[in-house]
Chains A and B, each alone.
Chain A
Amino acid sequence: MIGPGYQWLAHLRRSPLLLFVLLYTALSGGPFLWVAVMSLRTTPEIFASPYALPSHLHWEKFADAWTRSNYSTYFWNSTIVVVTAVVLLTVIGAMVAHCLARYHFRGNRVARFVILSGLILPPQLLILSLFQILLEFSLYNTLTGLILVYVAGHLAMTVYILEGFFAQIPQDLFDAARLDGYSDLEIFWRITLPIGAPALFTTVTLNFIILWNEFLYAVVLLTEDDKRTLPLGIMHFMGSHQLDIGMLATGLMIAIAPIILLYGFFSETMIKGMTAGAVR
Chain B
Amino acid sequence: MGEVALNGLSKRYPGGSDLAVKEVTLTVADGEFMVLLGPSGCGKSSVLRMIAGLEPITAGTVSIDGKVINKVPAKDRDIAMVFQSYALYPHMDVFNNLAFGLRRRSVPRGEIERRVNATAAKLGLAPFLKRKPHALSGGQRQRVALGRAIVREPKVFLFDEPLSNLDAALRVTTRNELIRQQYDIGITTIYVTHDQVEAMTMSHRICIMDKGEVV
Interface residues on A, range: 10 to 19
In the complex, which residues 84-139 of chain B have their Cβ closer than 8 Å to any Cβ of chain A?
A: 84-85, 87, 89-91, 100-101, 104-105
A194 touches B91 (CB 8 A): yes
Q: Which chain A positions have C-beta within 8 A of B152? A: 180
A170 touches B85 (CB 8 A): yes
In the complex, which residues 169-190 of chain A have their Cβ closer than 8 Å to any Cβ of chain B?
A: 170, 172-173, 175-183, 186
Residue of A nearest to B152 (CB): A180
A191 to B104: give the CA distance in the assembly, Å.
14
Shortest Cβ gap from A109 to chain B (Å): 14
| Residue B184 CB within 8 A of the other chain | no
Given A194-B91, A195-B90, A179 contacting B52 (CB threshold 8 A): yes
A173 touches B89 (CB 8 A): yes
A178 touches B83 (CB 8 A): no
Interface residues on B, range: 20 to 34
B104 touches A178 (CB 8 A): no
A177 to B152: give the CA distance in the assembly, Å.
13
| Residue B79 CB within 8 A of the other chain | yes
Residue of B nearest to A196 (CB): B91
Which interface residue of B84, B85, B91, B105 has the most chain A CB atoms within 10 A? B91
B87 touches A176 (CB 8 A): yes
8 Å CB contact of B75 from A172, A182, A194, A197: A182
B85 touches A179 (CB 8 A): no
Shortest Cβ gap from A168 to chain B (Å): 12
Q: Which chain B positions have C-beta within 8 A of A197? A: 91
Shortest Cβ gap from A213 to chain B (Å): 33
Closest 3 CB pairs of A and B: A180-B101, A172-B87, A181-B104
Question: A-contacting residues of B (Cβ < 8 Å)?
Answer: 14, 49, 52-54, 73-77, 79-81, 83-85, 87, 89-91, 100-101, 104-105, 148, 152
